[in-house]
Chains A and B, each alone.
Chain A
Amino acid sequence: MTALSRGARALFLLGAAVFFGLPLLWLLLAPTRTADDLTTGAPLGFGSLGNVGDAWAHLTSYNDGEITLWIGNSVIYAAASVVLALLLCVPAGYVLAKHDFAGRRTLLTLSIVTMILPPAALVLPLYLEMSAVNLTGTVWAVILPLSFYPFGVYLAFLHFQANLPDSLLDAGRVDGASELRLFWSVALPLARPAIALIAFFGFVRCWTEFFLPFVMLSDDRTFTLQLGLMSLLQSTGAVNNSSGFADLDIHQPEAALAGLVACAPLLIGFVLAQRFLRTGLLAGAEKG
């Protein structure tokens, strides 16, 4: 590679990094600044760390610190849905990739269809289902529908398809291992990268999901962080002064801080998944 093309490459990647990074840099700096400074100061100015503490104190002044309750709720909803989704997706993806059985093609096709169905169609049916079994308003009304994750099934399916040779399974069969045993001790150990990806994308989906909790939950104490924050920021007019009027000291810096709190788990998840993915791929490469 010539020095010129190397330079062009670095320039391109860095230019993109500036484009993608600036918004978050702004958001990162915003809680250190005052609301006045945000509108009238330099775009990427820095205020003081003390302001961040104040902003957090203001956020917790909403409904006696309900924000911490929502964080807890979101963790429970997301963790339970992700774990359940993994339990459903990984075995299903494995079977769909490695076994021929009646209904296999149908399952694959129907998964695609349900994957791109717009959520507006699902409000009523899902609500009625949950209501029929008395689950509306409970954590299950959010966790159960979210753990149905066809995209995850496809990720697992693609992974096993590409990285699990039939010969490996046949060898196990010759040794007299049962089919379930094969899944547990041959397929699963090779599934690390798929699990990392499904867990990450599944987590992103559950953590940022707005629509399902909006429909299913009607008590602010059971809200997810997303739903709660929408409630908090709009009723205090934090994003724009006309959306709500409150005597609470919640303005743009508080809104930015809330946004950072809400996206931090996703970034941590990203870094973790990347690690898991890299080691998994290396392990796979060595085996292959």
Chain B
Amino acid sequence: MNLILFTFIVLLGFTSYYFGRRKAYTIQSTNKRLTALPQFYGYYLAIWCAIPAFIIFSLWAIFEPTIVKLLILSDYSNQGYLDDELNLIYEKTKALSRGQFTGEITPFIEASAEKYLSLRSIAQSSKAVILLSIIIASVAYAYKKISSNSRTREPVEKFLKAVLFTASLAAILTTVGIVFSLIFQTIDFFKVIPLFDFVFGTHWYPAKAFVRDSSEALDPTMYSDTFGAVPIFAGTFFIAFIAMCVAIPIGLMSGIYLAEYASVKVRQYAKPLIEILAGIPTVVYGFFAALTVGPFLKEIGNSMGLDVSAESALAAGGVMGIMIIPFISSLSDDVITSVPQSLRDGSYAMGATKSETIKKVIFPAALPGIVGSILLGVSRAIGETMIVVMASGLAANLTLNPLESTSTITAQIVVILIGDQAFGDPKTQAAFALGMSLFLVTLCLNIVALRVVKKYREKYE
């Protein structure tokens, strides 16, 4: 129904464009000068069609469900139902009208479902009628209004500019959406679990909180010692640290080599090949870590008499490091290439070798940019999910032994939220609280890193 209506409106839009242009041509044929190109007259009319259509569509989308619900539930008022029960009745009605209802059908619900269907059809047809009449009226009004000396280009361009501006708000809306989706659950979580216990507690057993019977009332003492996030935070930074131990030396040295030593030909092939590593999906790395690296490390460890878990922090961190190599190498490559040639020439003139120039002159000059690239790498390591979920353990151990399994913020979020979740359960809320801390940490890292890189760029531009 909506689709038909939509197509019809699009067709109407095209027709009004056509009429607008034709009117422009008629004005032109009477030897009067136009104030804009003929197609602007067309666009002008099409906009007069689009704006009311958009407004009515959104109004309907917002108010129709609410009004229908009110009308349906007005039959049940004065019968002493609670709000929750009324909501349930409404959900049942909707399900029945869609034919998806399973369970006992009472005559009350059946009557409501019939009423619901009729209300919906009334709403739909009145929507169509109102929509079409208002659009036709507005287009007709605009059609009469345009004349040889009316302006059409300016309003059309203003409208376009407004559309462009709205689109640019999408980035802000996304950020707001992220904050909103996290903040309410997080606040609810901290109502049950004190912030102090979360930040400084050392026991993380969210599974314990799930044994609770849903009929039981919330009992805060039950959750003490359940949501202490220290092992999670420690695990996150530990795995990120292992990853950076792999990524920084290899990434930085290959960046330096590509920028300073490599011939054009080597650079031409090596750079894109290394960047392939960045394009491989993380789930593939996770599989690689779990299937190949984990068992391999375990075998080596066993042959040396060490007790290595098949899901070790080392496997996850090491593979994550491989993933981050290209980020560091290509960013530091960029940074080093943008160091002015005069610095190099000055150093060579003093008799320094190439490596001395790099170590003593170029590296210090490029340091801020390199630090920025490393920080971006850290933020990526902290936010990486699939490698940890698949290759490191899911149990939160507080350990600094890289051969044992640890867990991270991201892995815990996945563990908690995989499958069905009940909003309002402290366990689900804990995932959002973890998400909030992840968001905040990476946000700080990103802001600092982007600032540093930007400052550095300005210095040499």
Q: Do A and B bind each other?
A: no
Interface residues, chain A, with chain B CB atoms under 8 Å away: none
Interface residues, chain B, with chain A CB atoms under 8 Å away: none
